[in-house]
Chains A and B, each alone.
Chain A
Amino acid sequence: MFCLTRGSVTVRKARLLPDTTEHHGQGGAGEPGSDLFVDAVVADVPETPSRWKRIRRLPLPLLVGSFLVGSFLTVAFVSFIWTPHDPLKLVVPDRLLPVGSPGYLFGTDKFGRDVLSQLMVGARNSLFVSLLSTSVAVVVGGLLGLLTAGSGPRWRNVLSRLVDVGVALPGILIALVLATSTGPGNQAAIIAIIFWFIPIAARVTIGPARQILALDYVEAAYAYGRSKWYVLLRHVTPNIGPLLIVLASVMFAAAILIEAALAFLGIGAQPPTASWGRLLQESQPLLEAAPALMFFPGVAIVLTVLGFNLLGDGLRTILDPQQASRSGLM
């Protein structure tokens, strides 16, 4: 769906067509000149451009975003099978080695643990927390949005008011309440992000879902005897799919930021779990002695978040779910 298949190239051409004919074919559609132009375009399409050319035609944010996200995923998965050192092994003589020391590319922390290895394992933790929370939130929130869009006027009002209240509730407060009740840890972070994102996902889904429910083929499906949920899942969901994919990408970026912030505050991941936010927390007392410890985890967070945001931006350009960018939530 994302790679530009021949089908979507045709679509892009078709979109360009009215514009160009307006400029060139001043005389109207019947003129031989404009016909020629259309012929030229049609002739252009079957001659499939090389793969490289097709990739280059994609929007730049998408390319940069995919590259950054790809690197992040690679690092996270590689950390399962290989890290330069055991990220938890304390080597006291090698404490606080500077960047570029032999064997320790990014240096070591105050216990002599390898910073690069900890960063790699930290990527894994970010991935775990963000993937779990974002996917649950998008699925549950999406279903809630569908349900709201598909119910009768009275229930729809009640549900969408509830969703509005949820969107307005500041998520960090939910996270703090949860952490007080269940104790700090990854678990608190995950549940907090889920609660935070569900109303947002629902809010983003409701509008577009209602637009599609108003279309003729939905009417036809009902006339054919399909149930409400069949229509919602078979006809509405595929149509708002692009929207949900863009939403998931943007939410993933936000989840990484939240996970890091919670871990930094001591509410998220607990020692010995390596997390980028916790690495930054540990670096804070050593800012004067070893400022490099603060540098790399932050860069990792920025690049990953930037990657997911750019990916979301690029996907939005390609998939074009207009509604979402207007609602101010994404």
Chain B
Amino acid sequence: MGRVILRSVVSLVLAAGLGSLVVFGLLRLIGGDVALMILGQEAQPGAYEILREQLNLNQPWYQQYFDWLLGVFTGDLGTSYSARFDIYEEVLRRLGPTTLLAFGSLLISIPLALVLGTYSAIQVKKLRGGVVDVLSQIGIAIPAFWAGLIFVVIFGINLRWFPTGGYTSPFDDLGMSLKQLIMPTMALSLGITSVLTRYVRSAMLDVMGEEFIRTAMAKGRTRRGAALIHGVRNASVSLVTVGTLQFGALMAGTVVIENVFVIPGIGRLLVTSVLGREVIVVQSLILVILLMILIMNFLMDIAYVLLDPRIRDSQKGEALA
């Protein structure tokens, strides 16, 4: 167990290092001159030189890269060019809403998908199972931001149950915070729940054909009992494997949803920075999102080991490599 965790930590650090290099490199390779990107074409000649000096762009690229990485650890990422905020502080401040939103929808989606997927797999030959299947297919096709807009019109404008946007920290006013978070979390969960439901369903259908299910039924369990006691745990192992692929989609959804509900999180800042061509801000924000995804993957790795005794006992953790 300890070895497996160590392995996951090492791969987390390696992936983070590689990821930061890719982000740094891509922005410079494709974009070219960072100062010119920030200033635009109509820059005055003097401003260009000054900005280059300010951003340390005259140094070799590896120097810039290591300065940036060092800045991540020491809390000095520079200031935004046009809005003049301290990037590090701003990122920290905006981390809260994004984390709440992303983990909140995961907490809703994963159990819901397990229940719905299992149900539709057990009821596969009946209409009820088919209904879940069709609904999940429709859920995948609904863009998260459109679901958000519909919620705003129905629950925000017409019924006036929830505010149409904004964010309050749960430490300041828990009730208000929850009210504001409900609609964005639901909108984000819709698509993820649908995708995961389909995975659980097909995993359950696979598992139900396994020998140990037949054995359990031979021992006197009903089909449903065998599915619930022996099937779900096996199906959740494969849910964990495919779940990791969904984190990218989850973060993408968070970026979009934050813009629908005017939530001051990482995603909203990212979009404003992209449109304002704030290369330095974008670079740091993308690294933050990448780290969030990697950390979720790390947690999933641990969950994988806890769920699957075969890996736990083998001590090799081959599946994590």
Contacts and interface: CB of A to CB of B under 8 A. Distances in A.
A176 to B, nearest CB: 5
A306 B245 contact: no
A257 B255 CA distance: 14
A167 B245 contact: yes
B289 interface: yes
Contact of A180 (B19, B37, B164, B242): B37
Contacts of B145: 261, 264, 280
B153 A294 contact: yes
B291 to A, nearest CB: 12
Contacts of B164: 287
A123 B61 CA distance: 44
Main secondary structure of the interface of A (DSSP, over half): helix
A182 B238 CA distance: 39
Contacts of A294: 146, 149-150, 153
Nearest to B30: A181
Given A298-B149, A302-B146, A173 B290 contact: yes
Contacts of B15: 168
- Chain B, interface size category, equals 35 or more
A227 to B, nearest CB: 34
Contacts of B141: 253, 257, 301-303, 305-306, 309
Interface string A287-324: 11001001001100111011001100100000000000
A287 B274 contact: no
A261 B137 contact: no
Given A180-B279, A184-B275, A301 B146 contact: yes
A265 interface: yes
A181 B152 contact: no
Contacts, number: 138
Nearest to B271: A265
B176 interface: no
Contacts of B290: 170, 173
Contacts of A264: 143, 145, 256, 259
A180 B153 CA distance: 32
A182 B37 CA distance: 9
A81 to B, nearest CB: 28
B230 interface: no
Given A181-B37, A302-B141, A261 B275 contact: no
Interface in A166-185: 167-174, 176-184
Contacts of B275: 184, 266-267
Interface in A218-277: 253, 257, 260-261, 264-267
A176 B282 contact: yes
A302 B135 CA distance: 12
A267 B150 contact: no
Nearest to A179: B274
Contacts of B150: 294, 298
A301 B143 contact: yes
A328 interface: yes
Contact of B286 (A176, A261, A305, A313): A176
B112 interface: no
Contacts of B286: 173, 176-177
Contacts of B282: 176-177, 180
B68 interface: no
Contact of B27 (A170, A180, A280, A302): A180
Given A165-B18, A170-B289, A180-B37, A305 B140 contact: yes
5 interchain residue pairs of minimum CB distance = A170-B248, A181-B31, A172-B252, A328-B242, A298-B146
Interface of B: 15, 18-19, 22-23, 26-27, 30-32, 37, 137-138, 140-146, 149-150, 152-153, 157, 164, 199, 202, 238, 241-242, 244-245, 247-249, 251-252, 255-256, 259-260, 270-271, 273-275, 277-279, 282, 286, 289-290, 293, 297
14 contacts: A169-B19, A172-B252, A176-B274, A180-B278, A180-B282, A257-B141, A260-B143, A265-B255, A267-B275, A280-B146, A297-B146, A298-B149, A298-B150, A328-B199
